[in-house]
Chain A
């Protein structure tokens, strides 16, 4: 089955700096890669996703890149703000859309310091 590794486990940045979180996956058939943000006491919220037919996707301060050859994908947050502090999870699946069984990474605790 799919195995997703995520690094780093914790990340501390200064407000305004960029943050990068990286994930690797094992199943070459995976073609859907979402990223979730989980704030304390809440369920994970989808923030951005990418499918295997594109290499990069951007939404304001958030971007995701995908390298299918190397089987890794990354989350980039620019101009970080204190409200970006949360746990971020990557995930992978070999089926399009939400009706699939996602395999999650182990999470990254991001702290944005003033």
Chain B
């Protein structure tokens, strides 16, 4: 299994600003994903973070709003840009080793005021 550290664990941000969330894994992983979980809702995939190339975004999510980096096999960041109150959610990273189950970070609870 892999240990995933995600930070910050929570933040309160002003509208119009941006927040970068970091996800660090203690071992090299093949795939990393970013999810959004709105209050009381299920998990929605934002994008797959690809090492060394642009992330693959799901329908309804765009790079300008959610830029993602993955400079190596153990680290990824998600930025929530130009935030509005509708962006208030829990953001989760998920990391997968080859042919094994993936694990979630503990999540970042974002409140935009």
Chain A interface (Cβ within 8 Å of chain B)?
A: 34, 36, 41-46, 49, 89, 96-102, 104-107
Contacts and interface: CB of A to CB of B under 8 A. Distances in A.
A59 to B, nearest CB: 13
Band of interface residues on B: 20 to 34
Given A42-B106, A43-B106, A101 B45 contact: yes
B105 A99 contact: no
Contact of A99 (B45, B99, B104): B99
B55 to A, nearest CB: 13
A49 B43 contact: no
B41 interface: yes
A46 B45 CA distance: 17
B53 interface: no
Closest 7 CB pairs of A and B: A98-B102, A98-B96, A43-B104, A99-B96, A97-B99, A99-B31, A98-B101
Contacts of B92: 43-44
A98 B100 contact: yes
Contact of A44 (B41, B98, B104): B104
Contacts, number: 56
B100 to A, nearest CB: 5
B30 interface: yes
Interface in B83-113: 92, 96-107, 109
B97 A42 contact: no
Contact of B100 (A43, A45, A97, A107): A97
Interface string B4-28: 0010000000000000000000000
19 contacts: A36-B104, A41-B109, A43-B92, A43-B105, A43-B106, A44-B43, A45-B104, A46-B101, A46-B103, A97-B96, A97-B100, A97-B101, A99-B98, A100-B96, A100-B102, A104-B42, A104-B43, A106-B41, A107-B41
B66 interface: no
B42 A106 contact: yes
B101 A49 contact: yes
Name the residue among A41, A43, A106 with the largest chain B CB count within 10 angstroms: A43
B45 A89 contact: no
